[in-house]
């Protein structure tokens, strides 16, 4: 017997025989708390989340996923879905739940002629980049190679190629998905198109995705990318300059401004180490010489302490920032979309960052626009495509840090930026906002449509451990 958690948060005992039958039906395996891999599989990127699932179904194919979903439904079990476990909010793991762990499903198959990649849902961005760059191709995705393709894609997917080629979902051709009733469906523009609309921004609400098919673009092998670092005293002027520059910049260029504390190591000069800095991180998706010309005026302003922009292999750039967000730290996220980056918004951001509580905290402000904004608002469930800027506050601290103080600073910073917010936020960047925050992550018409879709595909809310669209939510 194991004790588990029902969806209704009441206890449940599951007979050994039922678990043995589930185990026998899987090609993958079941991990109970005494299994040697149990602890490493329940661990996620945000080390502040330490939860104990009743059992883990370590699935290796679609049939395994179907068996696990059917088991959860039959036993009224709380179920969590783990792609790569990189989401800071930590919904991938829950006490007493059945965790469906996809991390062994990492295969990526590339058809270079058709320019299509099909990736299993446990792949990370690094797996996808390695397989596609072998053919000089890429899927627009995120900025840290450990991030899972599943969670990232289902929320939208923002990264260095977004202004040229759109979000990850704008390059999604189809998914294979196991819905709450245990069916394996294909969702694409031509099959189950309503579901395809919903998985492009609606998160893990509609089922367990087994594989993603993506459209590929020629990228690299080298791109022009890197960052220019300024002492904090120049940050105001540089943020203003960058804002004005991006207003007319070509779509090939994506820039994220990062307020951070310079780490105590090269290449940061000793006088900057441990001090707050502005890192202007950029990537150009077109030819390198053209990129050099385009970014020259951006780099020419101010007196940078460090300029590390140059040609770099795309795969190296895609993993260069991994060290800035390592495993093993505690993490708390807050985000807004900004209506713009006016001088007052810059001042408030700099004032708050001056009192940063952790040397590992980062504030990312990126200009969106470009190809992201050209997709019609109702084409996908991803909302707020017209927001000019994304504000993403990622606080990180070691396990012995003062969590209460860190969370309080992050929340008050986020609160202070509210006057400059569109009211919405990127669903992959929010944390514990609850129903109101989730609702605000979507435009009202999108939210209403998501609720209707949830009622169709998951009326009992089996998939509730996510930024949840509850089927009983008022429209
Ligand atoms: C340091 C850091 C950097 C980031 N950088 C970026 C970035 O550059 N761009 C960007 O867009 N986002 C970025 N993100 C956010 C990222 O997109 C989300 O955290 C995403 O959810 C991670 O996906 P995962 O599969 O690793 O997460 P997991 O924690 O495994 O999953 C998160 C949730 O997604 C759902 N889910 C996962 N797999 C499946 C599946 N197969 N089927 C159905 N539902 C599933 C579940 O609800 C699950 O709880 C970053 C996050 C962090 C912490």
Backbone torsions φ then ψ of 211, nearest 5 degrees: -150, 155
Residues 6+ apart with CB under 8 A from 470: 435, 451, 454, 461, 464
**pLDDT at position 2, please?**
76
Q: Is ligand 1 within 6 A of the CB of residue 92?
A: yes
Rounded (10°) angle between helices 288-300 and 235-246: 140
pLDDT in the model for residue 9:
67
* Beta carbons within 8 Å of 403's beta carbon, 6+ residues apart: 48, 330, 332, 397
The answer to whether the CB of 88 is under 6 A from ligand 1 is yes
CB 77 within 8 A of CB 186: no
- Tokens found for residue 469: 């669209």
CATH architecture designation of domain 222-434 = 3-Layer(aba) Sandwich (3.40)
- Pocket of ligand 1 contains residue 203 by CB under 6 Å: yes
- What are the residue ranges spanned by the domains of the chain? 2-101, 108-219, 222-434
Task: Name the closest-CA residue to atom 51, ligand 1.
Answer: 87
d(CA 373, CA 379): 11
Its sign, for the CA torsion 258, 264, 269, 275, is positive
Using a 6 Å cutoff on CB, does residue 304 contact ligand 1? no
- The answer to whether the CB of 84 is under 6 A from ligand 1 is yes
Cβ–ligand 1 distance for 219 under 6 Å, the answer no
Beta-bridge partners for 215 = 116
Query: Which residue's CA is minimally distant from atom 18 of ligand 1?
Result: 87
Q: Does residue 466 line the site of ligand 1, with CB under 6 A?
A: yes
CA nearest ligand 1 atom 48, residue: 92
User: What are the CA-CA distances from residue 225 to residues 69, 308, 363 (Å)?
Assistant: 43, 8, 19
The architecture (CATH level 2) of 2-101 comes to: 2-Layer Sandwich (3.30)
pLDDT in tens, the chain (475 residues): 777 777 666 677 888 899 999 999 999 999 999 999 999 999 999 999 999 999 999 999 999 999 999 999 999 999 999 999 999 999 999 999 999 999 999 999 999 999 999 999 999 999 999 999 999 999 999 999 999 999 999 999 999 999 999 999 999 999 999 999 999 999 999 999 999 999 999 999 999 999 999 999 999 999 999 999 999 999 999 999 999 999 999 999 999 999 999 999 999 999 999 999 999 999 999 999 999 999 999 999 999 999 999 999 999 999 999 999 999 999 999 999 999 999 999 999 999 999 999 999 999 999 999 999 999 999 999 989 999 999 999 999 999 889 999 999 999 999 999 999 999 999 999 988 888 889 989 999 999 999 999 999 999 999 999 999 999 876 5
Helix (H, G, I), strand (E, B) or coil at 152: helix
Give DSSP secondary structure letters for 219-281. Answer: --SEEEEEEEEEEGGGHHHHHHHHHHHHTS--TTEEEEEEEEEPPSSTTS-TTTTTSEEEEEE
**Residue of 146, 348, 282, 312 whose CA lies nearest to 219:** 312
How much is the pLDDT for 474? 65
Distance, in Å, from the CA atom of 383 to the CA atom of 84, rounded to the nearest integer, reads: 24
Which residue has the CA at smallest separation from atom 3 of ligand 1? 144
Residue that has been written with the tokens 């998160």 in this structure? 203
CB 82 within 8 A of CB 150: no
Would you say the CATH fold of 222-434 matches that of 108-219? no
Residues with Cβ within 8 Å of residue 366, at least 6 apart in sequence = 158, 254, 255, 256, 257, 389, 390, 392
Number of neighbouring beta carbons within 10 Å of residue 33: 13
Supply the pTM of this predicted model.
0.97
DSSP state of 169: G
DSSP of 36-74, one letter per residue? TTHHHHH--S-TT-----SEEEE--SHHHHHHHHHHHHH
Do residues 207 and 177 make contact, with C-beta atoms less than 8 angstroms apart?
yes
CA 367 to centroid of ligand 1, rounded, Å:
21
Among candidate residues 387, 372, 139, 365, the one with its CA nearest the CA of residue 255: 365
pLDDT of residue 475: 57
Return the CATH number of the domain spanning residue range 108-219.
3.30.465.10
**CB-based contact 370:436 (threshold 8 Å):** no
Residues 6+ positions from 200 with CB-CB distance below 8 Å: 156, 169, 172, 380, 381, 382
């Amino acid at each position: 017997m194991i004790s588990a958690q029902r969806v209704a948060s009441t206890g449940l005992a599951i007979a050994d025989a039922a678990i043995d039958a589930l185990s026998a039906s899987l090609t993958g395996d079941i991990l109970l708390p005494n299994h040697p891999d149990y602890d490493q599989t329940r661990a996620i990127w945000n080390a502040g989340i330490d939860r104990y699932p009743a059992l883990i179904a370590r699935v290796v194919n679609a049939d395994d996923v179907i068996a696990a979903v059917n088991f959860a439904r039959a036993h009224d079990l709380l179920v969590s879905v783990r792609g790569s476990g990189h989401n800071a909010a930590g919904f991938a793991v829950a006490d007493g739940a059945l965790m469906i762990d996809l991390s062994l499903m990492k295969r990526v198959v590339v058809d270079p002629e058709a320019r299509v990649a099909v990736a299993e849902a446990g792949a990370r961005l690094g797996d996808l980049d390695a397989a596609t760059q072998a053919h000089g191709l890429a899927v627009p995705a995120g900025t840290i190679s450990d991030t899972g393709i599943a969670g990232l894609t289902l929320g939208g997917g923002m990264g260095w190629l977004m202004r040229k080629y759109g979000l990850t979902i704008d390059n999604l051709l189809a998914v294979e998905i196991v819905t709450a009733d245990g069916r394996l469906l294909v969702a694409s523009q031509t099959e189950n198109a309503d579901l395809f609309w919903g998985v492009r921004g609606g998160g893990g609400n509609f089922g367990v995705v087994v594989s993603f098919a993506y459209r590929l673009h020629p990228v690299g092998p080298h791109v022009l990318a890197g960052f220019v670092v300024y002492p904090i005293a120049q940050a105001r002027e540089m943020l203003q300059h960058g804002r004005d520059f991006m207003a007319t910049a070509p779509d090939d260029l994506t820039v994220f401004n990062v307020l951070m504390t310079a780490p105590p190591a090269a290449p940061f000069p000793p006088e900057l180490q441990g001090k707050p800095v502005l890192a202007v991180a950029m990537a150009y998706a077109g030819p390198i010489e053209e990129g050099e010309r385009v970014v020259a005026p951006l780099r020419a302003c101010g007196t940078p302490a460090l300029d590390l922009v140059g040609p770099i292999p795309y795969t190296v750039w895609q993993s260069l920032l991994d060290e800035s967000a390592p495993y093993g730290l505690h993490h708390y996220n807050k985000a807004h979309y900004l209506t713009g980056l006016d001088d007052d918004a810059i001042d408030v951001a700099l004032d708050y960052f001056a009192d940063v509580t952790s040397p590992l905290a980062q504030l990312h402000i990126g200009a969106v626009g470009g190809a992201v904004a050209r997709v019609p608002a109702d084409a996908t469930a991803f909302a707020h495509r017209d927001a000019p800027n994304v504000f993403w506050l990622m606080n990180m601290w070691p396990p012995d840090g003062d969590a209460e103080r860190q969370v309080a600073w992050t929340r008050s910073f986020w609160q202070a930026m509210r006057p400059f917010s569109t009211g919405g936020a990127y669903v992959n960047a929010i944390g514990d906002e609850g129903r109101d925050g989730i609702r605000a992550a979507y435009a009202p018409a999108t939210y209403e449509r998501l609720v209707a879709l949830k009622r169709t595909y998951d009326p009992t809310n089996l998939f509730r451990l996510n930024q949840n669209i509850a089927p009983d939510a008022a429209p």
